Chain A
Amino acid sequence: MGTPTVGGAPGTGATFVSRTIAPGLTLHKNTDNRRKTNLLNVFWVGVLGDDVTARALIPNCLMRGTTRFPSLQALTRETERLYGVSLSSDVRKIGERHVLQFRLEFVNDHFLPGGESILEEVITFLREVLTQPNLVDGAFEPAVVEQEKETHKRLIEGLLNDKRSYAVQRCLEITCENEPFRRHEQGSVDDLPAISPQSMTELWRDAAATNETHIYFSGSLSLDEAEAALTPILSTDDRTPLQFAPLAEPRMPGEVREVVERMPLKQAKLVMSYRTGVPFTDARVAGLVVGNGILGSFPHSKLFVNVREGASLCYYASSFLERTQALMFISSGIDQARYEEARDLIGVQVADVAAGKFTDEELTATKLALESRLLMLEDSPSALMDIHLAWHLNGAPYDLDAYRKQIVAVTREDVVAAFKEVKPDVVYLLGPDGESSEQPSDSEEVSS
């Protein structure tokens, strides 16, 4: 069904051949003969909405057992028998879409001893995980759902343990407090009590039938072989694909908000958010990406050279874009006593990029580093699948070669034009509370 469409540069590992095999169900294949394993990814794309917490639990419930392998233990034993096939799941957000991922990596038959073949068994195994969970009276086992809810609660609470990413997450929540993007991909503890085995089972059936589904395969099969082998993974009947709301327009900030939170810590974390005003498919994207690189993606970048090395103000400082939301973040670990100094010096680096105050060497080096990073991506089918999906969901044609050429062609003027609308939004400090463990936590908001 459907005709193949080709994206990416021909003749490189970066190419995908795609075929629609049912409404809202697309197969993408990449040929890679260099690796010793095959990679199979299934993505279910839904809305980043009120049911995000329950959606995040779907993979966990599915991974607890199938009709044939009815426990985590039985399932694991089967993966071990199949030469340690690595089965994992993930949830993420791509802009305001919520994506469930099922990932299988397994040894290419070519390497197995005695002419053994596991390809078919592995694909059958994944189909069973996705479509034949171990149901009791038509629903997930109540004990399993309760256990996974508790595990999930701990996972969400445990986000606190990694202070660096916790601080970024807090800054993001404050920045996007009135937007769907404020939601964490794992959802929130508050939603857990309302989740029942019945509602989980319905949500799984609904996701399977309505979510925009992308099956990616990287290995040494032809497209026809891949289609024959992979189509049975999901039912192609009765699919009613979701209709998504149009992609959000970039939002712009009001007054800069300065937020300080405290906990017993040794090293303070300073995270700053900016609105870029540059949509995902905008022609200024290449300039924005290069500008962000000059600012803080590399060891030659301003944040590293001027803030970390020059002023010894922090242990780490880097910037990254959230292109889907036209956001930029700067994340750093600092000495609390030098907070104002660090904040102001970081602000100067952003202003310098926006004003075109960087050397030709900084521009050239950044483009070279980005070009090199893009080339090396071609070695990673997993990273290519992620990019292919993200670009697709944001309405950008997948053409890594053209993108790389745009990056190489970026001029100083392009960077200045792309940074023209970059505006600070939130300055967030997660600071030590002075070693006092008796103090209750507090949160203060200061406008500046």
Chain B
Amino acid sequence: MTFGPETPITNETLKETVYRRVHSSGLPVYFCAKPGFQKRYACFATHFGSIDSKFSRGGKPAIEVPDGVAHFLEHKLFEGEAGNAMEEFSKRGAASNAYTSFNTTNYLFSCADGFYDHLERLIRFVQEPFFTEENVEKEKGIIGQEIKMYEDSAGWKVYFNLLESLYQNHPVQKDIAGTVESISGISPELLYTCYETFYHPENMILFAIGDEDRETYFSHVDRVLSERTWEPLGTLERIFPDEPSAVASRRAEERMVVSMPRILVGFKDVHPGISPEALLTRELSADILLELTFGQATDFYQRLYEQQLIDDGFHGSHSALADIGHSMIGGDTPEPERLEAEILKEIERIRRDGVSAEGFERQKRAIMGGFFRYFNSLEFTANHYCGYQFLGIDLLGIIDRLHSLKLSDLNDLCAEHLDPERVSTSLILPKVGALA
């Protein structure tokens, strides 16, 4: 077993290089050197998240799995036959963790010493599933508590209630952890089925970053990966339901223990079959567009802040997956209906007037500066590199795409995406009689 040829990926502006080699098991392996840093960080990510609820492998009949299975698998993988992997990292001075998003499950660790020991542990524990009736049942209690904790979080609820309103069929609207009911149907067999499909090296990425020698790194990785052989993954089809461009409902409301109402207004974007390049253009354009419409430097923000309709938590953000995307605008406010009307009015205005060239150039500078800040972080570099790879986008190239972005990209997106016909509003209102 061995690696294919090395591909260096360099960005001159950021002065960063990432090296890529594909292992004969099919795993793409990456390395980024960070001279002088004490911390070493590595992550092992699979292109499997909460939205991958229906799939077919090797042309076999499609399988549908309960909501929350990717997150459940993430929890369970830490528990090996010989003990808890997180505890093993911890006992040897490393900190490990994992997270599940819509399209990714990522296992990671950071350490100062013993990097290769920890790296081997990371690769091994992710490649050694151990699911039993007993440990799966026990996990249901632990995840049930986690789900309850999310249910008490206004930020989480307002967000998922909005996704439910925006989407009619797409699994992005399902809570990443699932529900107590949905996870009750999870069995060891089901976990093994998902594992064997999505934890194949061809569907994963290994990324390490820190002050280590590149050759030593690749040869260690090769040795551990070569301990077993893999059949090719074959075809893996992710099946998503047709998602109409119309929203599922205009409004969602819920009462919780909060000090003030919270509102989130969302715009829906459905773009199946879009190219990664076009997806990136959309994402960058949407970020700048929202900043130029609702950001702290706008007349809108200044006026509403002075009227106390918003506070500094108010913001707009865009997020995209391969086939869908959405923009969300909102925050805490004493008068949610009035703020909603103001947001929609401002959308109308920006659709009519377009964005200013001066603002556009200023925003490009601001976002560029942000990139330098983010790239100080080993975790940011590694996690986002993997996340963007699963969308077919190279993280290092984003700053150049930003540079070449045109004002017309923004105005085109504005006309198409911020469509008043495809908007939903999610509201959290204070529960009567709550402790204040």
Contacts and interface: CB of A to CB of B under 8 A. Distances in A.
A158 B92 contact: no
A158 B432 contact: no
Q: Size class of A's contact patch?
A: 35 or more
A36 B376 CA distance: 6
Interface string A303-329: 011001100101100000000000000
B34 A34 contact: yes
Contacts, number: 201
A4 interface: no
A375 B211 CA distance: 14
A299 B90 contact: yes
A401 interface: no
A52 to B, nearest CB: 20
Interface in B347-384: 362-363, 365-370, 372-373, 375-376, 378
Contacts of B332: 154, 158
A81 to B, nearest CB: 6
Contact of B90 (A35, A84, A365, A441): A365
Interface in B369-401: 369-370, 372-373, 375-376, 378
Contacts of A369: 90-91, 93, 95
Contacts of A107: 369, 372-373
Contacts of A76: 295-297
Interface string B11-34: 001110000000000000000001
Contacts of A361: 91
A77 B297 contact: yes
A77 B362 contact: yes
A309 B257 CA distance: 29
A311 B111 CA distance: 29
- Determine which residue in A37, A71, A73 has the highest number of CB atoms from chain B within 10 A of its CB, and name it: A73
Contacts of B435: 160, 261-263, 441
Contacts of B302: 71-73
Interface stretch (B35-43, B51-59, B410-418): B35-43
Contacts of A243: none
Contacts of A333: 145, 149
Contact of B37 (A34, A86, A441): A34
B259 A36 contact: no
A315 B146 CA distance: 6
B311 interface: yes
Contacts of A365: 90-93
Given A376-B112, A440-B433, A13 B373 contact: no
Interface string A52-90: 000000000000000000011100110111111110000
Closest 4 CB pairs of A and B: A84-B369, A83-B369, A84-B366, A441-B435
22 contacts: A34-B36, A35-B376, A36-B376, A82-B369, A86-B373, A154-B260, A154-B332, A155-B311, A158-B260, A160-B434, A161-B257, A264-B433, A267-B148, A267-B149, A299-B90, A315-B145, A365-B90, A372-B94, A379-B39, A438-B433, A440-B433, A441-B434
Interface of B: 13-15, 34-39, 84, 86-87, 89-96, 110-113, 138, 141-142, 145-146, 148-149, 151-155, 255-260, 295-299, 301-302, 305-306, 308, 311-312, 332, 362-363, 365-370, 372-373, 375-376, 378, 431-436
Given A315-B146, A369-B91, A369-B93, 11 more contacts: A36-B14, A36-B376, A83-B365, A147-B305, A147-B306, A160-B257, A298-B90, A300-B91, A305-B87, A369-B90, A441-B434
